[in-house]
């Protein structure tokens, strides 16, 4: 595997630290006037999401991580793995529950997700920022109540539970922001 020197530890570069792929968030030279030079980096572990700092001395090298970010189409889940396909090459990738994590509750067949591949295998899956999903279970709608601002829980077809306005009925289709998990709007069939 390729290695890089301290001068190449730039923001955005992906490297291996303690056997995990990491992305550099900040990089700075640390050097007492006449003393030994060091490079201090702040990095995010791409598997766990944790942000840490580490320092290396000048002249050392670090292994590069073969990490790419790509858009893959979600196909189906088989109970153990979530299967994705590269829409250009039709190449398929399967992601385990650790890689899919919280994204699982937003995944709908055909949606395109941002997937990070490490050595060709998915390590993180990010759902689209907005998803359009059907409400499969919620309390009956309160007719005409579009102004009170009250909410109720609704279960969506993917299993996610979001707070929706009181007027929504079971079977309706809504738009949700997956970054906040919040209801955005009602989608009329055909709007999508």
Partner 1 sequence: MLARIRMFFAERNVMEVETPLLSASTVTDPHLASLSTRCRPPARDSEQRVYLQTSPEFAMKRLLAAGSGPIFQICKAFRDGEAGRWHNPEFTLLEWYRPGYDHLRLMDEVEELVGGLLRRPTARRMTYAEVFKTCVGADPFAAGERALARLAVDLGLSAESAAKLDRAGCLDFVFSAGVQPALRELGCVLIRDFPASQAALARVSPHDRRVAERFEMLVDGIELANGYHELSDAGEQRSRFLRDLATRKRLGATEPPLDERLLAALEHGLPKCAGVAVGVDRLLMLAAGVTDIRQVLAFPIDRA
Q: How many CA atoms lie within 13 A of 37 on its CB side?
A: 9
Q: Which is nearer to partner 1, 63 or 71 (CB)?
A: 63
12 touching partner 1, by CB under 8 A: no
163 touching partner 1, by CB under 8 A: no
Q: Which is nearer to partner 1, 37 or 136 (CB)?
A: 37
Structure tokens at 140: 């009956």
Q: Which is nearer to partner 1, 19 or 147 (CB)?
A: 19
Question: Please, are residues 114 and 71 in contact by the beta-carbon 8 Å criterion?
Answer: yes
Least distance (Å) between residue 11 CB and partner 1: 12
Q: Which of 1, 34, 79, 88 binds partner 1 (CB under 8 A)?
A: 34
Query: Given the rule CB under 8 A, which of 31-39, 114-122, 161-169, 173-181 is the region that contacts partner 1?
Result: 31-39
3 touching partner 1, by CB under 8 A: no
Query: Given the rule CB under 8 A, which of 29-37, 66-74, 147-155, 171-179 is the region that contacts partner 1?
Result: 29-37
11 touching partner 1, by CB under 8 A: no
Query: Given the rule CB under 8 A, which of 25-33, 123-131, 143-151, 161-169 is the region that contacts partner 1?
Result: 25-33
51 touching partner 1, by CB under 8 A: no
Q: DSSP letters along the chain, please?
A: --EEEGGG--TT-EEEETTEEEEEEEEEEE--TTS--EEEEEEEETTT--EEEEEEETT-EEEBP-EEEEEEEEEEE-SS-EEEE-TTT--EEEE-HHHHGGGGGG--TT-EEEEEEETTEEEEEE--SEEEEEEEEEPPP-TT--SS--EEEEEETTS-EEEEETT--TT-EEEEETTTTEEEEEE-TT--
Under the rule (CB under 8 A), what is the footprint of partner 1? Answer: 7, 17, 28-38, 40, 53-60
């Amino acid at each position: 595997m390729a290695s890089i020197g301290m001068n190449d530890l730039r923001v955005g570069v992906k490297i291996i630290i303690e056997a995990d792929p990491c992305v550099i968030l900040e990089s700075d030279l640390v050097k007492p006037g006449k003393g030994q030079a060091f490079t201090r980096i702040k990095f995010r572990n791409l598997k766990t999401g944790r942000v840490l700092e580490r320092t290396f001395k000048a002249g050392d090298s670090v292994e590069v991580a073969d990490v790419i970010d790509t858009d893959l189409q979600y196909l189906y889940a088989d109970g153990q793995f979530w299967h994705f396909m590269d829409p250009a090459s039709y190449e398929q990738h399967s992601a385990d529950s650790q890689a899919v994590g919280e994204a699982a509750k937003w995944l709908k067949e055909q949606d395109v997700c941002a997937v990070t591949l490490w050595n060709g295998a998915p390590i993180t899956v990010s759902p689209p920022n907005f998803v359009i999903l059907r409400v499969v279970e919620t309390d009956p709608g309160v007719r005409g109540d579009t102004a009170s601002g009250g909410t109720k829980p609704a279960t969506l077809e993917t299993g996610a539970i979001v707070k929706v306005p009181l007027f929504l009925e079971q079977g309706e289709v809504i738009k949700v922001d997956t970054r906040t998990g919040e209801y955005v709007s009602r989608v009329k069939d055909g709007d999508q």
